[in-house]
Amino acid sequence: MATRRVFLKNSALALFGAGVAPQWLARAAAGPGSRKILVAVLQRGAADGLNIVVPHGDKRYSELRPTIGIAREKVIDLDGFFGLHPQLEPLKPLYDAKQIAIVHATGSPDATRSHFDAQDYMESGTPGLKSTSDGWMNRALAHETNPSPLRAVSASGNLAKTLRGPQAAVAIGNMSDFQVRDRKMASEYQSMYAASSDARLQTAGRETFEALRMMESVRRANPTPENGAVYPRGRLGQSLRQVAQLVKGNVGLEAAFADMGGWDHHTNELPQMENQLREFGQALVAFQRDLGDRMEDVVVVTMSEFGRTARENGTRGTDHGHANVMFAMGGGVHGGRVAGRWPGLEAEQLYEGRDLAVTTDFRDVLGEIVTTHLGRTDLGTVFPGFRPGAAPGLFRG
């Protein structure tokens, strides 16, 4: 393994050019195959769930947010009590078609309001435990002796913690960067490692160039989105576009992670959220449309490290809170409803008198997806130390 790390470090820049994370160089190669796929999206910065899925039927909502609350007549009503932010109107047809489900008042049992700690806990799947070095998505992957080099992908410049661990995973910031820039040099590298007397170097070289060929094949086979899908230009849109290319490329993808920053709105929240939610909603819709029938094998789940204060602050924003909202869409998801127990917004119902209370542990949402969609029965391995509560019922019985 040490020899392989030396190969990765010394060869990555020569093969691919500067700026590409060497985690991409996978450690095993395998043929394509159809598998269940999980895509996790993290809204970094603590998105305001109360203004994303608005509890307009709770009279306290407008009282707590006289200037930043979404007016009831502007909310995209879902069930008479909850409604979507106006910028999420593109999601309404998916909701009506029962292809997207929402779980409100979700979050971590850990009460930290530190972005760094809360994101770390959400990616590791072990709230309150800082010593965890790997992530729940990596642990959700069954052990394979010969996995696809594109089995688990972090659609970012760095390998997200949730995908770190013993199972092979790669980071892809921009798919177009993953190509051989000097084919003569690449051929020389390939011959050199093939002729090596070290079996580990032979394997590393063979796997690296197999991964290169797979990525080049994906780029050529899926150059543009399908079914009229139009991805927004921002980071999330482009990340999901790349994930969709991998899904359509049948490269053995099982887990993908994407993130979107900029949700920490302490001041002037409304215009900032409009821009964020416009990209968020358009990206999800484009991904679903692009994949078409392939969505039967894919589940997308969204989350944010914690929510915001129920009451607006003095600068027309919100501060760090507790519970939030999660979305799930894709194969088998029982959509068209807002799941989870609503705790209420009265003073005595708020967590510490200021925040929406958590009634569904985020691991109960993720755990149901892992067991029902991915088929993992050993949930204690994926979320060590966790005692599951009531599942939100995301899937059809």
- Residue 60: the pLDDT is 98
Amino acid at 198: D
Task: Check whether 143 has a pLDDT greater than 70.
Answer: yes
Pair of tokens at residue 373: 């969609």
Strand partners, 171: 154
Per-residue pLDDT band for 10 (boundaries 50, 70, 90) equals very low
Express each pLDDT in 279-315 by its tens digit: 999 999 999 999 999 999 999 999 999 999 999 999 9
Alpha-carbon distance of 346 to 388, in angstroms, equals 28
Q: Is-above-0.75 flag for pTM?
A: yes
Per-residue pLDDT band for 44 (boundaries 50, 70, 90) equals very high
User: Which region among 67-81, 210-224, 234-248 has the lowest average model confidence (pLDDT)?
Assistant: 210-224
Residue in this structure with the two tokens 């068209």, named with its chain if needed = 336
Per-residue pLDDT band for 23 (boundaries 50, 70, 90) equals very low
Which one is predicted more confidently, 280 or 144? Answer: 280
Alpha-carbon distance of 281 to 90, in angstroms, equals 6
Arithmetic mean of pLDDT, 376-383: 95
Task: Check whether 29 has a pLDDT greater than 50.
Answer: no
List CB contacts of 271: < 8 A, sequence separation 6 or more: none
- Residue 173: the pLDDT is 76
Whole-number mean pLDDT of the chain?
87
CB of 259 closer than 8 Å to CB of 156:
yes
Alpha-carbon distance of 329 to 175, in angstroms, equals 25
Arithmetic mean of pLDDT, 231-256: 94
CB of 48 closer than 8 Å to CB of 265:
yes
Which one is predicted more confidently, 127 or 24? Answer: 127
Per-residue pLDDT band for 194 (boundaries 50, 70, 90) equals low
Express each pLDDT in 159-189 by its tens digit: 999 999 999 888 887 766 555 544 555 565 5
Amino acid at 9: K
CB of 125 closer than 8 Å to CB of 135:
yes
- Residue 237: the pLDDT is 97
- Residue 189: the pLDDT is 54
Alpha-carbon distance of 153 to 148, in angstroms, equals 11
- DSSP annotation string for 101-125: EEEEEEE-SS----HHHHHHHHHHT
Task: State the distance between the two ends of the chain, measured CA to CA, in whole angstroms.
Answer: 44
Of 127, 157, 152, the residue nearest 139 (C-alpha):
152
- Residue 284: the pLDDT is 98
- Residue 324: the pLDDT is 98
